Amino acid sequence: MMTTDCSDESLRALAQKLAQHCLRQGWQVVTAESCTGGWIGKVCTDLPGSSGWFAGGLISYSNTAKTAMLGVPEDLLERFGAVSEPVALAMAQGALSRTNAHLCVAVSGIAGPGGATLTKAVGTVCLAWAMQNNAALFSKSLTCQFSGDRESVRRQTVAAALRGLLDMHGASAKTP
């Protein structure tokens, strides 16, 4: 994945843009975070007035929490592992179903320095976005391979998560 600006200023600018879009539509955002440990929610709630568009966030670091808090099926975790697009999608859909939010981002990854497996290297992050628009549920997912140390991987994940929320919101504007 291409390296982009992930500075505090850049993350704040992404959150401000998301806030503007959500406030204009009257939409709420919820997060379901694992490897970022609430960092996406922190960036959003650093903005004054975030209660007008940010519904909340769920930090589900363990598989048990993913199942209990977000309804991720245990068999999905066993088949694909926590760091997988199917699990990230289930996290996003679970967070949406438990809130009145319209948009959700979910992240699960291996930030390092440990945790790598034979098939999933440090820096592997799965992201999923879900949007509830009237009766329809739209979702998409993506697996990224970020580089750098733990903070760098997490920072890149936050930026990708916010960009994806903006993309989902933009796509929703085109949906009848």
Q: What confidence tens digit (pLDDT) does each residue in 114-137 have?
A: 999 989 999 999 999 999 877 778
Terminal CA-to-CA distance of the chain, rounded, Å? 32
Helix (H) / strand (E) element for 29: namely strand 29-33
Give residue 142's pLDDT: 97
Q: What is the mean pLDDT of residues 64-92?
A: 97
Residues 76-100: b if buried by 16+ CB within 10 A, e if exposed: bbeeebbbbbbbbbbbbbbbbebbe
Radius of gyration for the chain, computed over Cα atoms and rounded to the nearest angstrom: 15
What is the reported pLDDT for 78?
A: 97
Q: What is the pLDDT of residue 101?
A: 95
Instruction: Tell me if 136 is assigned to some domain.
Output: yes
The confidence score (pLDDT) of residue 136 equals 75
Q: What pLDDT is recorded for position 133?
A: 78
**Long-range interactions of 74-82: CB distance < 8 A, separation 24+:** 81/117, 81/120, 82/34, 82/108
**Domains held by the chain: number:** 1
- The answer to whether residues 116 and 143 touch, using CB atoms and an 8 Å cutoff, is no
Question: Domain for residue 21, yes or no?
Answer: yes
* Domain assignment of residue 1, yes or no: no
DSSP-derived pairing of the beta strands 103-109 and 29-33? parallel
- The mean pLDDT value of the chain amounts to 92
> What residues make up the domain containing 34?
8-173
pLDDT at position 137, please?
82
- Is residue 3 in some structural domain? no
In a domain, 81, yes or no: yes
CA neighbor of 115 nearest in space, from 89, 67, 81: 81
